[in-house]
């Protein structure tokens, strides 16, 4: 059956997820790009900046577990709309921070962290509702590439906006952009069973996985966190997120600082190198979803296609251990290697998210994603705090480059370690029966 006879409406839904995820990352990436202004106004050290990023990450991590639960309870249409509306308002609230008011700024970051936590549980749950298993990694990779697009757009527009209008107005303008998404969400989105524009052929294709045929009563049942934590599958996903999410947070929040310390680049001078890193990462995100789908089409079992792909991506993250060394010869060597590592992460991310719908019924996807997201946020806190202390320590010794060298080594090796633990816990990624 061809795409013409099946229908393509599910890809419109994927486009909505892509736009929301782009806005999500655009809002959170602003802080790293206006850091120079914030350092001057608030008098921050590296550790102080790390503490501010941790305020975001801690609130994001704690809220993630509740966000997943709320999405499962409210449903994707209402839950996603609520998440995006509130995080857009939280981003705009940075505009209200008074001059030098550290506490108010931290509270604005906490508000953004809490509200942004709803994006991925809602998006992953939507993918599980709208796509069959063989297409989920591709759909996840496409919408997850919005994280790269947000990170690409940010360095291209934020430094110029901050120089022209100030850092407060930058937060206000970008936060307001997200609210426009609500119009399209309410116009185009419904669950497949309630959507009037969805053909029967596409509905049947979406629900073609035999192991996911469930009764309405079963789908409506609620499953407690305690019940979910009994499964090795939950712990495999959570540990994988714990060990690898912090790497992405490190690139997002510390790359502008790396360019400043290593190459004396600030403001608009950082735009092109940062944008290039995330352009490369975008390729990884989409390819990361395509490869397992291609394996499945060749007759591979889903678990084998998923785990083989993740092992390849984990290996592709390793070369970043040489970023500091090669960057000593030419900045663009470092940029290319970091970009390749970001591509590996995004390919990994597209698949680790999809393992949730591979192993769990749709009714629990939001909750399990929330549990893993909380673990990933905790990993981000550990990485940010460690980086801040490490950089301040080595800067005091006159060798901040050593701090970055150590961080890049850790970033390169964590994926293989995470893959190994996940493989030990769920060798065949068996489906959970709850």
Give pTM, 2 decimals: 0.76
Radius of gyration of the chain (CA): 21
Return the pLDDT at 286: 81
Contact 115, 90 (CB under 8 A): yes
Encode the chain in three state secondary structure: CCHHHHCCHHHHHHHHHHHHHHHHHHHHHHHHHCHHHHHHHHCCCHHHHHHHHHHHHHHHHHHHHHHHHHHHHHCHHHHHHHHHHHHHHHHHHHHHCCCCCHHHHHHHHHHHHHHHCCHHHHHHHHHHHHCCHHHHHHHHHHHHHHHHHHHHHHHHHHHHHHHHHCHHHHHHHHHHHHHCHHHHHHHHCCCHHHCCCCCHHHHHHHCCCHHHCCCHHHHHCCCCHHHHCCCHHHHHHHHHHHHHHHHHHHHHHHHHHHHHHHHCCCHHHHHHHHHHHHHHHHHHHHHHHHHHHHHHHCCCCHHHHHHHHHHHHHHHCHHHHHHHHHHCCCHHHHHHHHHHHHHHHHHHHHHHHHHHHHHCCHHHHHHHHHHHHHHHHHHHHHHHHHHHHHHHHHHHCCCHHHHHHHHHHHHHHHHHHHHHHHHHHCCCCCCCCC
pLDDT at 406 over 60: yes
Return the pLDDT at 242: 96
Return the pLDDT at 347: 93
Return the pLDDT at 106: 93
Sign for the pseudo-dihedral over CA of 370, 373, 375, 381:
negative
Return the pLDDT at 215: 42
Q: Residues 289-298: pLDDT tens digits?
A: 889 889 988 9
Angle at 244 between CA 240 and CA 249, to 5 degrees: 140
Q: Residues 136-195: pLDDT tens digits?
A: 888 988 998 888 888 788 888 998 999 999 999 999 999 998 898 899 999 999 889 888
pLDDT at 261 over 90: no
Q: Residues 265-283: pLDDT tens digits?
A: 887 888 899 889 989 998 8
Return the pLDDT at 146: 87
**Quick one: average pLDDT of 28-40?**
88
Phi-psi region of 299 (alpha: psi -120 to 50; beta: other; left: phi over 0): left
> What angle separates helix 46-74 from helix 9-33, to the nearest 10 degrees?
160
In the chain, % of residues over pLDDT 90: 47
Contacts of 375 (CB under 8 A, 6+ apart): 61, 238, 239, 241, 242, 245
Return the pLDDT at 217: 39
| Confidence band of 318 (pLDDT split at 50, 70, 90) | very high
pLDDT at 216 over 60: no
**Quick one: average pLDDT of 65-76?**
86
**Quick one: average pLDDT of 6-32?**
90
**Quick one: average pLDDT of 40-58?**
89
Return the pLDDT at 218: 41
Task: Name the average pLDDT for the chain.
Answer: 89
pLDDT at 47 over 90: no
In the chain, % of residues over pLDDT 70: 96
| Confidence band of 221 (pLDDT split at 50, 70, 90) | low
What domains can you pick out in the chain, each with its CATH number?
9-203+231-425 (1.20.1250.20)
| Confidence band of 99 (pLDDT split at 50, 70, 90) | confident
């Amino acid at each position: 059956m061809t795409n013409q006879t099946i229908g393509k409406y599910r890809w419109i839904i994927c486009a909505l997820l892509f736009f929301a995820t782009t806005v999500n990352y655009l809002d959170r990436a602003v802080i790293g790009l206006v850091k120079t202004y914030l350092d001057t106004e608030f008098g921050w050290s590296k550790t102080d900046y790390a503490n501010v990023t941790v305020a975001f990450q801690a609130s994001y991590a704690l809220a993630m577990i509740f966000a997943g639960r709320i999405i499962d309870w409210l449903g994707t249409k209402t839950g996603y709309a609520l998440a995006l509306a509130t995080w857009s308002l939280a981003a705009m609230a940075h505009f209200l921070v008074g001059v030098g008011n550290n506490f108010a700024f931290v509270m604005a970051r906490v508000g953004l962290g809490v509200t942004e936590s709803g994006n991925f549980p809602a998006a992953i749950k939507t993918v599980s509702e709208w796509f069959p298993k063989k297409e989920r990694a591709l759909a996840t990779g496409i919408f997850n590439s919005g994280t790269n697009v947000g990170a690409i757009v940010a360095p291209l527009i934020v430094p110029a906006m901050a120089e022209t209008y100030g850092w407060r107005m930058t937060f206000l303008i970008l936060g307001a952009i997200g609210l426009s998404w609500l119009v399209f969400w309410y116009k185009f989105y419904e669950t497949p069973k309630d959507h009037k524009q969805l053909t029967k052929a596409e509905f049947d294709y979406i629900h073609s996985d035999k192991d996911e045929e469930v009764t309405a009563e079963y789908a409506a049942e609620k499953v407690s966190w305690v019940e979910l934590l009994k499964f090795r599958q939950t712990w495999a996903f959570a540990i994988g997120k714990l060990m690898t999410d912090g790497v992405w947070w490190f690139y997002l929040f510390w790359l502008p600082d790396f360019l400043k310390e290593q190459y004396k680049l600030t403001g608009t001078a950082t735009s092109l190198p940062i944008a290039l890193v995330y352009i490369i990462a975008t390729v990884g995100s989409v390819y990361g979803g395509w490869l397992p789908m291609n394996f499945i089409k060749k007759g591979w079992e889903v678990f084998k296609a998923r785990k083989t792909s993740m092992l390849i991506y984990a290996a592709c993250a390793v070369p970043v251990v040489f970023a500091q060394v090669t960057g000593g010869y030419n900045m663009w060597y470092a940029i290319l290697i970091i970009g390749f590592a970001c591509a590996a992460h995004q390919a990994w991310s597209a698949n680790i998210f999809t393992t949730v719908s591979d192993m769990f019924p749709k009714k629990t996807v939001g909750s399990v994603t929330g549990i893993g997201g909380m673990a990933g946020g905790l990993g981000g806190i550990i990485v940010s705090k460690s980086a801040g202390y490490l950089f301040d320590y080595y800067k005091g010794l006159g060798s901040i480059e050593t701090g970055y060298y150590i961080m890049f080594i850790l970033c390169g090796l964590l994926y293989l370690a995470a893959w190994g633990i996940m493989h030990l816990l769920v060798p065949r990624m068996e489906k959970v029966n709850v």
